[in-house]
Copies of this chain bind each other. A is one copy, B any other.
Amino acid sequence: MEAREVLEKVKNNEISIEEAEKYFKKEPFEEMGYAKLDTHREIRSGFAEVIFCARKADEHLLKIFTRLYEQDGEVFGTRASEHQYELICEKFPEVVYDPLSHILKIEKKDKKRIGKIAVCTAGTADISVAEEAAQTAEYFGANVERIYDVGVSGIHRLLSRLDTIQSANCVVAVAGMEGALASVLGGLVDKPVIAVPTSVGYGASMNGLSALLTMINSCANGIAVVNIDNGYGAGYIATQINRMGVHQDE
């Protein structure tokens, strides 16, 4: 829930002054010793704090997960391992784990989704990163259209789905190897393209560095790039853009 939404609800008597007060009176962060939970993040950015699970100690993960659950009633974790799923599952049996995207989450039911983001991949091996982007965007309230395996070596596959892609508020282009997909998409749509290089490839792909360079040097306009395999980051900024586009259509 964004700050403005809270204020609007107060104005419309949808929530009480006390509830709003509770929202704004949160300490800006919660000191946990090994971590400082950024409890003000949602007020500041419109997005709740999310857990980057990789490398977290079991004890720390469990505490942070619990704390965020108590606060928000839902939790979203990225880069979680099978082991971490089992750990959380013991305490929160309702937790859901997707081994493809490595997302671990408890999500509130019946959340409204708005607008449209098109998530495209060059190949099938890019899908795990694309799913991180897509599920992030969905968690934060966006509708997502998945268009997978439309790499430039068979461009008719991409062209056949152009209508869907062009109707989105934002396009996420996920590609490894030479990463040319972003440039082709950039030339075909009039909305921002968020390019995600992936570590898919071998040899001179240098774990995605080559795809990153391709996307950064794109000759097409309207493209900006996030880190290699950073599906979460792409889903996040795509959601920001989608929110603007959605309001626009209302």
**1/0 contact trace for A194-232 toward B, CB 8 Å?**
110101111111111111111111111111111111100
Question: Is A135's beta carbon under 8 Å from chain B?
Answer: no
Question: Is A191's beta carbon under 8 Å from chain B?
Answer: yes
The answer, among B46, B183, B184, B211, for a CB contact under 8 Å with A217, is B211
Roughly how many angstroms separate A222 CA and B165 CA in the complex, as a whole number?
Answer: 22
Give residues 25-60 of A contacting B (CB, 8 Å).
28-29, 33-36, 38, 40-41, 44-47, 54-56, 60
CB contact under 8 A between A29 and B216, given known A55-B125, A183-B180: no
Question: Is A186's beta carbon under 8 Å from chain B?
Answer: yes
CB contact under 8 A between A221 and B204, given known A34-B124, A183-B152: no
Question: Is A247's beta carbon under 8 Å from chain B?
Answer: yes
The answer, among B153, B204, B218, B233, for a CB contact under 8 Å with A212, is B204
Q: For residue A123, which residue of chain B has the nearest CB? A: B219
